Structure 1
Amino acid sequence: MRNFLYGAITSAAIATLTVSTLTVAPALSAERLSLSTWGSPAHYQVAEFVPMFKQLLEEKSDGDIRLKTFEGGEMVKQQFVATAVPQGTIDISLTTLDNWSGRVADVGILTTPLWDKSMEWTRDNLKPGNPVFDYFDAKLRDEGAIIIAMFDIGAPVVSTSFEITGPEAFANMPIRAYSKGSAQVLQTLGAAPTIMGVGDVYSGLQRGTVKGAMGGLGGAVGLKHYEVTSNMFVPNGVMGTLIHAYVMNKAKFEGMSPENQKILMEAAAEARDHMQQVAIDQLASLLDTVRENGNTVTIVEPGSPTWEAFAKQLEPLAREATQSYPQEVQDLIAAD
């Protein structure tokens, strides 16, 4: 009897193990992806995009695509994304597109006066299938990356320890730039730009290493730059804009099944559209937060004398851009 019971128990155990193994197998075969962001985790480009993207991936794939996330530059700092993604250090990362200018020179046009698109235009048009999106996606594919989402976080602002009433205020001032393109804008205005990673800006302002910092409004508020500055200058686009993206390692993407590729792009598009609208909706409240924390906010209105003064001083940069960038990309931007 004991042998019979032992045999029965063993058979049941094997059956249970078999069922358990069959149940676990799909999870073991799940597509596992890593995603890195930098800057403030509270910034809408992180807080609004990443959770929704992750949820949509899992829902649309029935759990077959899993996403592990790393915030605050834990895996890859802002300035190193253009190297880390093609190398496969991380599968997906947030990026400032102008940070790719060392590998893809044409992205620099996005920070010049030739790019005059509104956030609303970007929301509605800068998607896969749009000629501008596809142009830059093709350029990054040549470098081992693809663009899964491209968006506008708004015109950059300048957080400073001094008042800005016109271009002359920038003369000889050490100002943080976030990329080569933004440094060229500041240099044209007479400033002494220094490219600095987003994680170093607060301490740079606090210590006086820089007297001002150019960057996105969401990041400036999320990282509380108003604690170590007294003014915020809002050029409203006359000094360019900030086009960011989520990019993915090309080999990793192409190694996914066609179905999972489609799911990933759909999830990225939905999360991106949601985040872009939040970015548009939050602009006014973010400026209110800066004011509430004791900073003076100066907004340049399009067409005002101050706007015209900045536009005039930046004319040489616009002329240089028309000579520096291929006519093809200039025509694409002008056509849209």
Structure 2
Amino acid sequence: MLNNWITAAATAAAIAACGSAVSASERLSLSTWGSPKHYQVEQFVPKFEELLDEKSGGEFRLKTFEAGEMLKQQFVATAIPQGTMDISLTTLDNWSGRISDVGILTTPLWDHSMEWTLENLKPGMPVFEYFNDQLKEEGAVLLAMFDIGAPVVSTNFAIDGPEALEGRSIRAYSKGSAELLQSLGAVPTILGVGEIYSALQRGTVEGAMGGLGGAVGLKHYEVTSNMFVPNGVMGTLIHAYVMNRDKFESMSPENQEIVMEAATEARDHMQQYAIDALADLLDEVRENGNEVTVVEPDSEMWNAFAAQLESLTDKAKETYSPEVQAVVSGAAN
């Protein structure tokens, strides 16, 4: 009888211990959109998962969903605060309906190089902390903030100056990018990443503005003849990985630190890869038959675009607070 009691107690203890181990593990879901081969996915997600496992001793389980399978780009700002997904890739300007200040990232007031952002968009730095505070108020936490490079414009016509865009239907990726294109005389249409290829193929739009990595990964060069590389005179693309705030705060302080450290290290790895890969991506576009036009800083074409965008720059100075302008200019460092 005593032996039976001991056996039962041992079994119960083992079950309890097993249950405790399961409950102690952290299960997270992560969603991305666009091309799974884009470096913001291909270079970030596996590294993030590897670092979570390494830093936690295997306590984290990450379930990933690619190419908008569970969450499309335009719905992230709603779905993450609701807890539909724990973590997602996002274009920060997609939050402009909730956080007006993020719109400044798509204006000519943001003129930083990828090398600058590599060092200055990390936790503890003014830009990161400013937007993290704003995201927290909306039910999200900023895990990683990064620069995927200046946008490019894939077209079926040559762009040799701002006048070439006059009256042209061009895909925009956000409200801010649409305003920028409109200021150049184009007719912007906001489309999700997955809609671009067919829209270009059918002539629904005459060009598409977006990241170089995405344009190459989704093979836009198959349905275009030209690529225009503004090289920063038309702004840049600041993306991020964000997490549901309630889920983040439900974790222990130790696990919160693990997630942040893993995200930061994976982000650094990915952005350095992006910096190194830009030239190769442009070569791939050329090799696939597209004419590539790169705007050189301070060239005649650069100055023509800058002059055309001057009214947008002045509007941005009036629209955004002195505080956020100081933060993005680096004056708050």
Residues in 1 aligned to 2:221 and 2:248: alpha-carbon distance in whole angstroms: 40
Tell me the equivalent position of 1:268: 263
The CA deviation at 1:8 is 9.1
Residues in 2 aligned to 1:209 and 1:93: alpha-carbon distance in whole angstroms: 29
Equivalent of 1:219 in 214, 223, 234: 214
**Which amino acid is the alignment partner of residue 129 of structure 2?**
D
Are 2:302 and 1:307 equivalent residues in the alignment?
yes
The CA deviation at 1:13 is 9.8
Tell me the equivalent position of 2:41: 46
The CA deviation at 1:28 is 4.5
Q: Which has the larger displacement, 12-21 or 202-211?
A: 12-21
Residues in 1 aligned to 2:82 and 2:14: alpha-carbon distance in whole angstroms: 39
Q: Which runs of 5+ in 1 are unaligned?
A: none
CA RMSD between the two structures = 1.9
Tell me the equivalent position of 2:174: 179
List structure 1 segments (4+ residues) > 2 angstroms apart after TM superposition: 7-25
Q: Which runs of 5+ in 2 are unaligned?
A: none
Residues in 2 aligned to 1:162 and 1:117: alpha-carbon distance in whole angstroms: 29
**Which amino acid is the alignment partner of residue 111 of structure 1?**
T
Tell me the equivalent position of 1:278: 273
1:134-153 correspondence to structure 2 within 5 Å:
134-153=129-148
The CA deviation at 1:14 is 8.7
Tell me the equivalent position of 2:77: 82
User: Normalising by structure 1, what TM-score?
Assistant: 0.94
**Matched residue SS, 1:176:** strand
Are 2:318 and 1:323 equivalent residues in the alignment?
yes
The CA deviation at 1:21 is 6.5
Describe the superposition over 1:54-91 as per-residue Cα deviations: whole angstroms up to 9, x where unpaired.
11111211122211100000111001100000010001
The CA deviation at 1:166 is 0.5
Q: Which has the larger displacement, 20-29 or 244-253?
A: 20-29
Are 2:162 and 1:204 equivalent residues in the alignment?
no
Tell me the equivalent position of 1:295: 290
Equivalent of 2:248 in 247, 253, 273: 253
Equivalent of 1:130 in 125, 131, 142: 125
Describe the superposition over 1:149-200 as per-residue Cα deviations: whole angstroms up to 9, x where unpaired.
0000000000001111000110110000000010011000000000000010
Say how many residue pairs are matched.
331
Describe the superposition over 1:112-135 as per-residue Cα deviations: whole angstroms up to 9, x where unpaired.
000011000000111111111111
**Which amino acid is the alignment partner of residue 148 of structure 1?**
L
Considering only CA atoms, is the larger Rg found in Structure 1 or Structure 2? 1
Are 2:100 and 1:114 equivalent residues in the alignment?
no
**Matched residue SS, 1:322:** helix
The CA deviation at 1:26 is 1.3
Residues in 2 aligned to 1:258 and 1:153: alpha-carbon distance in whole angstroms: 30
Residues in 1 aligned to 2:328 and 2:119: alpha-carbon distance in whole angstroms: 15
The CA deviation at 1:258 is 0.4
Equivalent of 1:190 in 156, 168, 185: 185
**Which amino acid is the alignment partner of residue 121 of structure 2?**
L
The CA deviation at 1:17 is 8.4
Residues in 1 aligned to 2:5 and 2:217: alpha-carbon distance in whole angstroms: 59
**Matched residue SS, 1:102:** coil
The CA deviation at 1:27 is 3.4
Residues in 2 aligned to 1:10 and 1:208: alpha-carbon distance in whole angstroms: 77
Are 2:224 and 1:229 equivalent residues in the alignment?
yes
Residues in 2 aligned to 1:19 and 1:31: alpha-carbon distance in whole angstroms: 20
Residues in 1 aligned to 2:263 and 2:117: alpha-carbon distance in whole angstroms: 15
In 2 relative to 1, CA 203–28 (structure 1 residues): closer, same or farther, beyond 3 Å?
same
In 2 relative to 1, CA 13–234 (structure 1 residues): closer, same or farther, beyond 3 Å?
same
Tell me the equivalent position of 1:73: 68
Residues in 2 aligned to 1:293 and 1:12: alpha-carbon distance in whole angstroms: 70
User: Normalising by structure 2, what TM-score?
Assistant: 0.95
In 2 relative to 1, CA 10–221 (structure 1 residues): closer, same or farther, beyond 3 Å?
farther
Identity percentage of aligned residues? 70
